[in-house]
Amino acid sequence: MFLINCPYCGERDQSEFSAGGEAHILRPKQPTELSDDQWAEYLFMRKNIKGVQFERWNHTHGCRKWFNMVRDTSNDKIHAVYKMGEKPPVK
Amino acid sequence: MSKNLRITNSKFIDQTSRISFKFDGKTLYGFKGDTLASALLANDIHLVGRSFKYHRPRGIMACGPEEPNAIVQVGSDASITEPNTRATEIELYEGLEASSQNCWPSVNFDIGAVNNFFSPLIPAAFYYKTFMWPANFWKLYEYFIRKSAGLGKSPTEPDKDIYDHRYLHCDVLVVGGGISGIIAAKIAAKNNFNTLLIDDKNILGGTTLFQENECFKINNSYSNEWLKKEIETLKSLKNLTIKTRTSLAAYHSYNYLLARENLTDHLDINEKKDKIRQRLWKIRAKKVIISTGAMERPLIFNNNDRPGIILSSSIKRYIDYYGVKCGQRISLFTNNDSAYEAAISLNNSGVIVNSVVDIRDKTNSLIVKQAENLGISISCDGVCLTLISKTNKILEFYLSNETLHRSKFKKIIKGESINLELPLKKGQNISGHICQGHVDYVSKVKKIKLIDKSYLMEFSANTKQKKSLIEKASILINGVSLTISKITKNGFEVWIIPHTYKLTNLSKLKMNSLVNIEVDILSKYVKKYFNEK
Ligand SMILES: [Zn+2]
């Protein structure tokens, strides 16, 4: 059970949050120009890294805001949290 | 006839408040402060269950959460009955009803115990499902297999009790209230950390509560007295919360822990009503200190799962804390000093300690010196036996079936003489070879020849037995260490010098007399190493 430091509310229990998958995936500017393969790549393919990963989280049972998190999936260490639109910390 | 095994010197048991409870339908009595296990032992009840598969008899073996055998069903009401609880963790209360599990129709007469005799036919990973074939026979098997499989019964009606859960945040969580836990909690709280100390027992202190041996002093006072003062200081600290009867159940990441606090389980059945039974604590701690202490590791030997075989640390707790002696005559088998603590406690409470059998060669600790005059273990004819009594120049020993089967004692005649040897004492020179007192087989005398005041004797050995014999190696004959001079066609020869001949019963040997043989332990290890049969 993580203790997550919401950028808006502070430290809260993991049970208040929900995970939203990999962060910083840009939506293609012209989806109509993409091939099926490229569209599928954008829609479904995720890195699923063992190690440091950038993720989106939502404070579902709190402020209900989305934010980003840098987490090491091998040991569940949370390295940083930052608001949407903010630059990710350097790797 | 069962005996009362209670003694009256415990400070922790209130012998003025008698409690009645039921075990397997029989009404028994204990006292306030008892656990179900200690009360059963006080009533001389050892057999409390059956093993899962072979239905071997199982007795109380420990005194706390480490108990593997005394697993019982508590409560007869269909909504509150609880399976798989440890008798060692159930505090006795008025109206408690408990029963053994995994036995039918009763723990003393158990039909499933026949599995034990068929055990060669029921290997590990054998499934009762085997009986499902042929399919139309299942109707017949099912009733009996359902009875013999599974541990305990689950409740069939909704739980009527009230439960609660709460969150708790602290700077330091200390798990376990023994010496280290108490010191850790004290230091943390004194340094302005918001501290929580939890312990599964009803009072803090762990085993130190009843440790009043000279060998275990802290700051020049007996450990139990020192502890009492420390607990008093602890209770006056502002930053500290103490929770007893609370056991930690889970330790998740980011120091998220779950603990269960028992609120009414120890109360009389009438006092339990309308109260919260248990509370689940969801703890988030900045630092966690695990100070749970250690559990005694059981020694490995044949049939060590039998009722009546108890960990020595538990024997000590039962006698010192609960005022219960685990038996009338107690022998201790050990590879370290802790058994001597139990021996001393038993002795101080007037229980006879037959012997302390120590597998070590020597030890320098004070506690062993203290215990030295209590008991004695004697190597008898090369068989390590336990002395039961010593009266009028007659020594009484207990021989198990295994001993009888392996050694020549099966065929011993009244009046026959045997060799006695005391265990090696500390400081004595070690000579000869290592004898364990575990007889391997019985041989016959094949030849006796007097040559130059010495005797040359030949003993029988078959091909398999001869494999572990080599010339010039040591061998134990009736507990006498001798050297093999020659391996012969049907056995081996040894020389017996006049001194040995005079002092031992080897002088009484005739043709075809039986002797106990113990081969050199080294050869056994070597054989094992090379995987020889
Ligand atoms: Zn928030």
Number of domains in chain B: 3
CATH code assigned at B271: 3.50.50.60
Is B418 contained in some domain?
no
Residue B230 shares a structural domain with residue B284: yes
Using alpha carbons, list the distances in angstroms from residue B264 to B83, B85, B274, B278: 18, 16, 10, 7
What domains lie within chain A, and their CATH numbers?
A: 3-83 (3.30.2270.10)
A2 in reach of chain B (CB within 8 A): yes
Distance CA A54, CA A68 (A): 7
Residue B470 shares a structural domain with residue B525: yes
Residue B93 shares a structural domain with residue B23: yes
Amino acid at residue number B30: G
Contacts of A72 in chain B (CB under 8 A): none
State the distance from the centre of ligand 1 to the C-alpha of A16, rounded, in angstroms.
9
Residue B201 shares a structural domain with residue B274: yes
Is B300 contained in some domain?
no
Residue B133 shares a structural domain with residue B202: no
SS3 category, B64:
coil
Residue B130 shares a structural domain with residue B68: yes
- Of the listed ranges B159-163, B254-258, B394-398, the least confidently predicted one is B394-398
Question: Last residue of a domain, which of B290, B323, B356?
Answer: B290
- Of the listed ranges B60-74, B385-399, B502-516, the least confidently predicted one is B385-399
- Please indicate whether, in this complex, the C-beta atoms of B253 and A2 are within 8 angstroms of each other: yes
Is B449 contained in some domain?
yes
**Is residue B240 pLDDT above 70, yes or no?**
yes
State the distance from the centre of ligand 1 to the C-alpha of A10, rounded, in angstroms.
7
Amino acid at residue number B218: I
Question: Last residue of a domain, which of B148, B182, B201?
Answer: B148
Contacts of B253 in chain A (CB under 8 A): 1-2, 76
- Quick one: average pLDDT of B113-132? 56
- Of the listed ranges A67-81, B195-209, B427-441, B478-492, the least confidently predicted one is B427-441
Is B435 contained in some domain?
no
Is B134 contained in some domain?
yes
Q: Which residue, among B80, B55, B68, has the nearest Cα to B154 in the 3D structure?
A: B80
Within 10 Å of residue B157's Cβ, how many Cβ atoms?
10
Residue B134 shares a structural domain with residue B55: yes
**What pLDDT score does B382 carry?**
37
A90 in reach of chain B (CB within 8 A): no
**What pLDDT score does B407 carry?**
59
Confidence of residue A70 (pLDDT cuts 50, 70, 90): very high
Paired residues of B27 in beta bridges: B22
Phi, psi of B213 (to 5 degrees): -95, 145
Contacts of A14 in chain B (CB under 8 A): 254
Confidence of residue B429 (pLDDT cuts 50, 70, 90): very low
State the distance from the centre of ligand 1 to the C-alpha of A58, rounded, in angstroms.
8
Confidence of residue B426 (pLDDT cuts 50, 70, 90): very low
Size of interface A-B (CB pairs under 8 A): 15
Is B362 contained in some domain?
no
Which is it for strands B47-50 and B57-59: parallel, antiparallel or unpaired? antiparallel
- Share the mean pLDDT of chain B: 81
- Please indicate whether, in this complex, the C-beta atoms of B284 and A2 are within 8 angstroms of each other: no
Q: Which residue, among B359, B36, B342, B348, has the nearest Cα to B207 in the 3D structure?
A: B342
Residue scoring higher pLDDT (B317 or B377): B317
Question: Last residue of a domain, which of B123, B148, B173?
Answer: B148
Are B458 and B488 spatial neighbours (Cβ–Cβ below 8 Å)? Answer: yes
A3 in reach of chain B (CB within 8 A): yes
A10 in reach of chain B (CB within 8 A): no
Are B36 and B46 spatial neighbours (Cβ–Cβ below 8 Å)? Answer: no
pTM of the predicted structure, to 2 decimals? 0.70
- Quick one: average pLDDT of B231-235? 92
State the distance from the centre of ligand 1 to the C-alpha of A64, rounded, in angstroms.
6
ipTM of the complex as predicted:
0.84
Interface test with A, best of B166, B253, B255, B281 (most A CBs within 10 A): B253
Residue B131 shares a structural domain with residue B208: no
DSSP conformation letters of B423-463: PPPTTPPP-S----S---EEEEEEEEEEETTEEEEEEE--H
Digit-coded pLDDT (tens) for B246-303: 999 999 999 999 999 999 999 988 888 889 999 999 999 999 999 999 999 998 888 8
Nearest residue in B to A12, CA atom: B284
Residue scoring higher pLDDT (B441 or B379): B441
Q: Which residue, among B179, B216, B176, B218, has the nearest Cα to B199 in the 3D structure?
A: B176
Give B256→chain A minimum CA distance, Å. Answer: 6
CATH code assigned at B95: 3.10.20.440
Amino acid at residue number A3: L
Residue B279 shares a structural domain with residue B200: yes
Digit-coded pLDDT (tens) for B21-33: 999 999 999 999 9
CATH code assigned at B528: 2.40.30.20
User: Residue with structure tokens 């990441």?
Assistant: B253
Residue B70 shares a structural domain with residue B43: yes
Distance CA B282, CA A14 (A): 13
Residue scoring higher pLDDT (B141 or B421): B141
Range of the domain at B449: 441-532
- Of the listed ranges A79-88, B230-239, B361-370, B438-447, the least confidently predicted one is B361-370
Is B7 contained in some domain?
no
Highest mean pLDDT among B124-138, B219-233, B465-479: B219-233
DSSP conformation letters of B246-309: EEEEEEETTTEEEEEEESSTTS-TTTSTTSEEEEEEEEEEEEEEE-----PPPPP-TTTTSTT-
State the distance from the centre of ligand 1 to the C-alpha of A14, rounded, in angstroms.
11
- Of the listed ranges A36-40, B36-40, B111-115, the least confidently predicted one is B111-115
Distance CA A54, CA A48 (A): 10
Residue B45 shares a structural domain with residue B135: yes
Give A71→chain B minimum CA distance, Å. Answer: 13
Phi, psi of B34 (to 5 degrees): -70, 155
Residue scoring higher pLDDT (B151 or B197): B197
Residue B43 shares a structural domain with residue B142: yes
Q: Which residue, among B68, B11, B8, B6, has the nearest Cα to B205 in the 3D structure?
A: B11
**What pLDDT score does B381 carry?**
41
Is B355 contained in some domain?
no
- Quick one: average pLDDT of B188-206? 95
